[in-house]
């Protein structure tokens, strides 16, 4: 059985009845940008046999797979995963979403588009990413008898941009281009989706506006700078990711004919959740193939962190019908699951409608959103994917929680043992190994996903000061004088020809190391005018900000 950077476990299945399911008691106004509680008894959706244990298992498996098939069959017409998902939006958006759904369904079966996407994923994104056997981490979790699961990491950090977000961003940007859209709007929290969107828009010559909460901007200033280098306009919104999402959607509604809303995660009205899941599912498809090559089988357990859902679904979707593969999602317990400061939507939320779709939400008794909290900014969202909500309800996936402190400990362990710095979001999945590994049999294969490199702020995060020197990039002839006026100190770094660096980012959506930018600048200023048309140059190897 196998391990990846996502853990998968099968929930022990519980009989669904009114006493075991928390049903919201209130129903408030249905609003696109505000939550609405939903009263619905779902006991009729899941049935179990009460015969022998073996028959129970067979019946549970049959019921779960049947519900998944049923949901898939109705998805294109209803936009729902069971009772979750849907299209809860103003009338002005319905026709636009219908058109988007039609285009999405077409390109799924269009050989030309799929061929172009495969080339982009290979040559631009850098797929496929390795399925890495974490030998020392595996040894770390062995018991006193030397037994324990084998742990594998699906290295999504090795993608262009350092995260899984670009898998979806490049595909949707290509779709936007195909639909004749001129501009793209998006929202970002941790900044990874913003960077990915800015990069692919630069590559495809699309105008790009990224909305970001002021709280997140302060924590992710390096990503903000990179988005600007890539040609995007970064629009500051009061609040966090949920507020940025609302503003991005409003901006999109202002110009539906020429703009495109590039959803970064599997939430929102249909077809947005299905699109993001589909474009991220390349992760799970590669994992299945690589597992067969490495040990001739499937992973036993897949473990993934869960914020709003794109990371987990990218791995889970390929294996959702493999009942012998456990699917485990790990949510952020923040300061503690009972502290009120967490992002554990599936563990503590109730059903409601938010940002155009029905899912589990963090909300109070009046149906108002409770602000999420996590040290991993990418996990701070009060809702969650409708599909993950569905997988929870039918018992196909299980969800657990990890605190900020536990995630930081896991971050340090992976750094020390494997020389890999995971994203703080992915560190939540790694932290769950402490509880999971003692319960697994020898040589079980466990997988974890998306070890994106973590850019740690100076005021928070794990104690690795060597990773986070506070550089100030200063441009201008009067640099020393201006730096003393503004910073009361000298600049830490002087970068020549930063304007040229920005120009290099924009045409290709690639952010080279400044050292490599010197070679690229020479191509433009000196080499190109002296060479005949059609001359082929050996390109310099890029490194650094990749």
Q: pLDDT tens digits, residue range 225-273?
A: 999 999 999 999 999 898 999 999 999 999 999 999 999 999 999 999 9
118: Cβ–Cβ under 8 A, 6 or more apart, which residues? none
pLDDT of res. 522: 60
- List of E strands, 76-135: 80-81, 84-85, 131-133
388: phi then psi, degrees, rounded to nearest 5: -65, -35
Contact predicate 207/172, CB 8 Å? no
451: phi then psi, degrees, rounded to nearest 5: -80, 65
Radius of gyration (C-alpha) of the chain in whole angstroms? 23
Instruction: Count CB-CB contacts under 10 A for residue 35.
Output: 28
Max CA pair span of the chain? 82
Determine how β-strand 207-213 pairs with β-strand 233-237.
Answer: parallel
Q: Which residue has the tokens 């909300």?
A: 363
What separation in angstroms does the CA of 95 have from each of 89, 351, 495?
Answer: 11, 26, 49
Residues of the chain with pLDDT under 50: 1-55, 57-58, 451-477, 493-504, 536-546
How many whole angstroms separate alpha carbon 107 and alpha carbon 114? 7
Summarize pLDDT for 385-407 with one digit per residue, the tens.
Answer: 999 999 999 999 999 999 999 99
Burial class (CB in 10 A: 0-12, 13-18, 19+), 300: buried
The token duo for 315 is: 């791995």
Summarize pLDDT for 84-123 with one digit per residue, the tens.
Answer: 999 999 988 999 999 999 999 999 999 999 999 999 999 9
447: Cβ–Cβ under 8 A, 6 or more apart, which residues? 2, 3, 4, 5, 6, 7, 8, 131, 151, 152, 153, 154, 287, 299, 301, 302, 303, 315
Contact predicate 452/422, CB 8 Å? yes
94: Cβ–Cβ under 8 A, 6 or more apart, which residues? 87
Phi-psi region of 164 (alpha: psi -120 to 50; beta: other; left: phi over 0): alpha
Residue 13 sits at the vertex; the CA angle it makes with 10 and 18, to the nearest 5 degrees, is 140
Contact predicate 405/333, CB 8 Å? no
Q: Please report how many Cα atoms fall inside a 13 Å half-sphere around the Cα of residue 30, on the Cβ side.
A: 10
Q: 242-247 long-range contacts, Cβ below 8 Å, gap at least 24?
A: 242/355, 242/369, 242/372, 242/381, 242/382, 242/383, 243/213, 244/187, 244/188, 244/189, 244/211, 244/212, 244/213, 244/216, 245/187, 245/211, 245/355, 246/33, 246/355, 247/187, 247/211
How many whole angstroms separate alpha carbon 384 and alpha carbon 266? 8
- Smallest CA-to-CA distance from 450 within 129, 223, 190, 157 is with 157
- Smallest CA-to-CA distance from 399 within 407, 408, 391, 411 is with 391
The token duo for 419 is: 């020389």
How many whole angstroms separate alpha carbon 359 and alpha carbon 8? 21
Is the CA virtual torsion 243, 249, 254, 258 positive or negative? positive
339: Cβ–Cβ under 8 A, 6 or more apart, which residues? none
Instruction: Count CB-CB contacts under 10 A for residue 340.
Output: 13
How many whole angstroms separate alpha carbon 283 and alpha carbon 127? 9
219: Cβ–Cβ under 8 A, 6 or more apart, which residues? 377, 457, 460
Q: Which residue has the tokens 């589990």?
A: 360
pLDDT of res. 484: 74
Contact predicate 63/56, CB 8 Å? no
Overall size of the chain counted in residues: 546
Asked: is 4-49+289-449 a CATH 3.40.50.1100 domain? The reply is yes
Structural domain boundaries in the chain: 4-49+289-449, 471-546
pLDDT of res. 450: 52
DSSP state of 4: E
């Amino acid at each position: 059985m196998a391990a990846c950077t996502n853990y998968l476990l099968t929930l022990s299945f519980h009989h669904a009845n009114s006493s075991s399911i928390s049903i919201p008691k209130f129903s408030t106004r249905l609003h696109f940008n505000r939550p609405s509680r939903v009263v619905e008894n779902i006991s009729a959706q899941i049935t179990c046999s009460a015969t022998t244990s073996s028959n129970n298992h067979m019946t549970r498996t049959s019921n779960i797979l049947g519900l998944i098939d049923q949901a898939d069959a109705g998805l294109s017409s209803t936009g729902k995963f069971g009772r979750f998902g849907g299209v809860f939006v103003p009338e002005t958006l319905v026709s636009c979403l219908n058109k988007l759904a039609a285009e999405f369904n077409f390109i799924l079966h269009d050989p030309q588009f799929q061929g172009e996407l495969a080339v982009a994923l290979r040559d631009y994104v850098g797929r496929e990413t390795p399925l890495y056997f974490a030998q020392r981490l595996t040894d770390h979790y062995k018991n006193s008898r030397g037994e324990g699961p084998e742990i594998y990491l699906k290295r999504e950090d090795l993608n262009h941009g350092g995260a899984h977000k670009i898998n979806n961003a490049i595909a949707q940007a290509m779709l936007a281009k195909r639909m004749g859209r001129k501009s793209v709007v998006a929202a970002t929290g941790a900044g990874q989706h913003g960077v990915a969107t800015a990069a692919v828009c630069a590559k495809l010559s699309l105008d790009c506006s990224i909305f970001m909460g002021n709280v997140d901007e302060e924590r992710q200033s390096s990503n903000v700078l990179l988005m600007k280098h890539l040609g995007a306009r970064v629009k500051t919104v009061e609040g966090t990711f949920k507020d940025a999402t609302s503003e991005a959607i409003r901006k999109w509604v202002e110009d539906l004919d020429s703009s495109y809303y590039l959803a970064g995660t599997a939430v929102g009205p249909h077809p947005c959740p299905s699109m993001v899941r589909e474009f991220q599912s390349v992760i799970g498809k590669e994992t299945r193939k690589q597992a067969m090559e490495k040990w001739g089988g499937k992973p036993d357990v897949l473990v993934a962190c869960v914020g709003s859902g794109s990371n987990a679904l990218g791995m889970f979707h390929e294996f959702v019908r493999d009942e012998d593969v456990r699917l485990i999602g790990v949510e952020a317990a923040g300061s503690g699951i009972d502290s009120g400061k967490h992002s554990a939507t599936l563990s503590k939320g109730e059903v409601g409608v938010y940002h155009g779709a029905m899912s589990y939400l963090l909300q109070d008794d009046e149906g108002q959103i409770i602000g999420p909290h996590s040290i991993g900014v990418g996990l701070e969202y009060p809702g969650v994917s409708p599909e993950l909500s569905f997988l929870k309800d039918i018992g196909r996936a299980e969800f657990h929680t990890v605190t900020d402190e536990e995630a930081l400990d896991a971050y340090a362990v992976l750094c020390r043992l494997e020389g890999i710095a995971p994203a703080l979001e992915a560190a939540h999945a790694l932290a769950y190994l402490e509880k999971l590994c003692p319960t697994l049999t020898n040589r079980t294969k466990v997988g974890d996903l998306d070890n994106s490199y973590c850019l740690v702020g100076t005021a928070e995060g794990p104690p690795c000061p060597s990773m986070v020197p506070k550089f100030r990039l200063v441009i201008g002839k009067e640099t020393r004088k201006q730096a003393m006026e503004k910073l009361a100190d000298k600049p830490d770094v002087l970068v020549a020809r930063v304007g040229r660096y920005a120009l290099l980012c924009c045409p290709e959506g690639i952010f080279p190391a400044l050292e490599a930018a010197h070679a690229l600048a020479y191509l433009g200023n000196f080499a190109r005018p002296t060479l005949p048309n059609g001359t082929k140059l050996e390109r310099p190897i890029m490194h650094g900000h990749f």
